[in-house]
Structure 1
Amino acid sequence: MNTHDLALFVRIADSGSITNAAQQLDITSAAASAALKRLEKELAVQLFIRSTRQLRITAEGEHFLLHCRQALDALEEGTASMNALQGKVFGELRISAPSDLSRNVLIDCMDEIMELHPNLSIHLNVSDSMADFYLDRVDLALRYGQPEDSSLIAFKVATFDRILCASPSYLSSFGMPSHPNDLKQHNCLIYQLKNRLFDLWSFSCNLEGKKESVKVKVNGNRSCNDGDVVRRWVVAGKGIAYKSRLDMAEDLHAGRVVRILPSFGSSPVELNLICPTRKQVTPAALLLRDTLRKKLSELLNN
């Protein structure tokens, strides 16, 4: 059975039109009609009821469509597996990732991968909001924490904590806090998402063998829904930020910012590469995962 005919059948079922399916596959409508008739002859069933105005899938067609999708998916996965064994990486990756990570880490990883694999194309959607895999046509998403939907496939790429940090110039002008409660007297740079201000900062530490938890309601004259803007503000000396150590790693190493109150930290945070189904776990996706793991480990252990 011709796999091209099977793929055409799925396209016709999805689009509801032989003409539209033909255009998507860059063939003529006559060729598409001939392929559909050929498939129906092989199966000895009518897959669609045709009229001059509409095309409607039959009950037999609905039944075959389910098996046809599974067969094509299995063939695609098998081809990807063979390509992986041969070291071939190509195709297209549609990625959604947070602003900090995209600008400061991910674009370098993308350049490294695409230089080695020129037949791969990557489309990057930069947003701190959670992408919809289906509406936004996203194959992979980099997100902090475990996904709430247990059906999604998550690969951990890094674990880190959040830290308080400020520039040397800010601390020279306004002084060094000695306890999280002192933050109430400082200008704090606040992250926001969907109009929610993340201005309640939580810390924990062990002092003299006793675990202490502190929550501080902070305030300041700057807030933004873009994490990288908050990072730029803290580097520029505009205030104190509570950011992931991953986002601030290069600035800490270069001395552009310093860590404040290192004995007060946060619970560990995971960064995961999330795929909606096994179909998206391609050689390209696994290569991105491994490249990110290496890059992020170097950053966090520098």
Structure 2
Amino acid sequence: MDNKTLITDLGLLHLFVKVVAHGSLSGAARELNISLPLAIRRLRQLETLLGVRLLQRTTRRQSLTEEGQLLYQHALQILDELASVEQRLSQSREAIVGPLRITAPVELGRRYIAPLLADFCTAHPGLNIQLQLTDTVLDLIESGMDVAIRYGALQDSSFISRPLAPNHRILCAAPDYLRRRGTPTHPGELSRHDCLLIGQQFQADWRFEGDAPVTVRITATLAANDGEVVHGWALAGYGIARKSIWDVFEDLASGRLVQILPRYPIPATPLHAVYPHSRHLAPRIRALLDYLGPHLSNLYKARRDSARTPRP
């Protein structure tokens, strides 16, 4: 036999094992629900592939050759191992176990996502969760992330986006700033105010909806790529910030920040979970999404009511 020969059709091995178990080709054919002529052809195919005779057959009985006995022992081991692997894979399709790598915006992640993930991990002790907080939009494939929690709609069509909870952005400032500089009553007045930007640039377009949509070009007095830094500047009275309602719920409720221009809503950017496209989504990812959605929605409703802010 050519030592490079490979049996690539496991069905041939399966048939051979059944023939030995039944003691006849006809018995194996009946169990496998194939015709006897097909069973004979398949067994001959296996013998031709291996270049050896596996069975001694007469009209009354069959017996294994020495080569057939060797193949039979190894075929049983191979098929048993494959059955074990298949069983483990089947269990893994249902089990909520394994690593989960998640990225989220810094403030949202610290305030809300991190506590929820800790509770989720406690409920599923087979999980290992890693949370990476950044206001930079990571490439999920390059960074090895399983799920990204992001504001707004999906940008890359190669990924899947699942809505998790409402979110809208507002303009806000500290009462001290408004006492010193006054409260704008129209978006056009923002050019005369100190504005705080999140990002790498000093300029940005802030768009407002309503009866007469308007876009205003903002030039920042202070800018940072970290949303929490901008949040701190707003609390300290350095200017007007555009923030997610998730970040300022408590500040609005306590009066540390005041909403500005509530009659000019900013386009909503609901929270989404983004993950790479996959036909077979791992149970741990599906369970995470099913968990985060309702919990974040309930948190949003509770915080919205406590802050007494308008609905988006």
The residue matched to 2:166 in structure 1 has which SS? Answer: strand
Cα deviations across residues 173-216 of structure 1 (Å, max 9, x unaligned)? 22211111121121111111xx34452211122xxxxx211222
User: Which residue of structure 1 lines up, in the alignment, with residue 246 of structure 2?
Assistant: 246
Q: Which amino acid aligns with 1:296?
A: L
Q: Does 1:200 find its partner at 2:212?
A: no
Write out the 4+ residue segments of structure 1 that deviate beyond 4 Å after TM superposition: 73-77
Whether the 8 Å CA contact 1:188–1:220 is kept in 2: the answer is yes
Q: Any unmatched runs of 5+ in structure 2? A: 1-48, 51-84, 303-312
Provide closer, same or farther for how the CA distance between residues 294 and 167 of structure 1 changes in structure 2, counting only shifts above 3 A.
farther
Q: Report deviation, 1:127.
A: 1.9
Give the counterpart of 2:126 among 103, 119, 127.
119
- Sequence identity, in percent? 35
User: Which residue of structure 2 lines up, in the alignment, with residue 19 of structure 1?
Assistant: none
Report which of the two has the higher share of strand: 1
Q: Report deviation, 1:265.
A: 0.6
Q: Report deviation, 1:264.
A: 0.4
User: Which residue of structure 2 lines up, in the alignment, with residue 180 of structure 1?
Assistant: 187
User: Which residue of structure 2 lines up, in the alignment, with residue 169 of structure 1?
Assistant: 176
Cα deviations across residues 45-92 of structure 1 (Å, max 9, x unaligned)? 9xxxxxxxxxxxxxxxxxxxxxxxxxxx99777434432xxxxx3211
User: Which residue of structure 2 lines up, in the alignment, with residue 290 of structure 1?
Assistant: 290
Q: Which amino acid aligns with 1:236?
A: A
Q: Which has the larger radius of gyration?
A: 2
Tell me the distance in 1 between the aligned counterparts of 2:94 and 2:195. Answer: 52
Give the counterpart of 2:110 among 103, 109, 112.
103
Give the counterpart of 2:167 among 142, 160, 164.
160
Q: Which amino acid aligns with 1:82?
A: E
Q: Which amino acid aligns with 2:110?
A: R
Q: Report deviation, 1:129.
A: 2.2
Cα deviations across residues 257-297 of structure 1 (Å, max 9, x unaligned)? 12111110122212211111337833332333233323332
The residue matched to 2:219 in structure 1 has which SS? Answer: coil
User: Which residue of structure 1 lines up, in the alignment, with residue 152 of structure 2?
Assistant: 145
Q: Any unmatched runs of 5+ in structure 1? A: 1-43, 46-72, 84-88, 206-210
Scaled by the length of structure 2, what TM-score is found? 0.63
User: Which residue of structure 2 lines up, in the alignment, with residue 51 of structure 1?
Assistant: none
Whether the 8 Å CA contact 1:93–1:285 is kept in 2: the answer is yes
Q: Report deviation, 1:253.
A: 2.6
User: Which residue of structure 1 lines up, in the alignment, with residue 262 of structure 2?
Assistant: 262
The residue matched to 1:93 in structure 2 has which SS? Answer: strand
CA RMSD of the aligned region, Å?
2.8
Scaled by the length of structure 1, what TM-score is found? 0.65
Whether the 8 Å CA contact 2:162–2:272 is kept in 1: the answer is yes
User: Which residue of structure 1 lines up, in the alignment, with residue 91 of structure 2?
Assistant: 79
Whether the 8 Å CA contact 2:194–2:221 is kept in 1: the answer is yes
Whether the 8 Å CA contact 1:100–1:227 is kept in 2: the answer is yes
Whether the 8 Å CA contact 1:233–1:239 is kept in 2: the answer is yes
User: Which residue of structure 2 lines up, in the alignment, with residue 93 of structure 1?
Assistant: 100
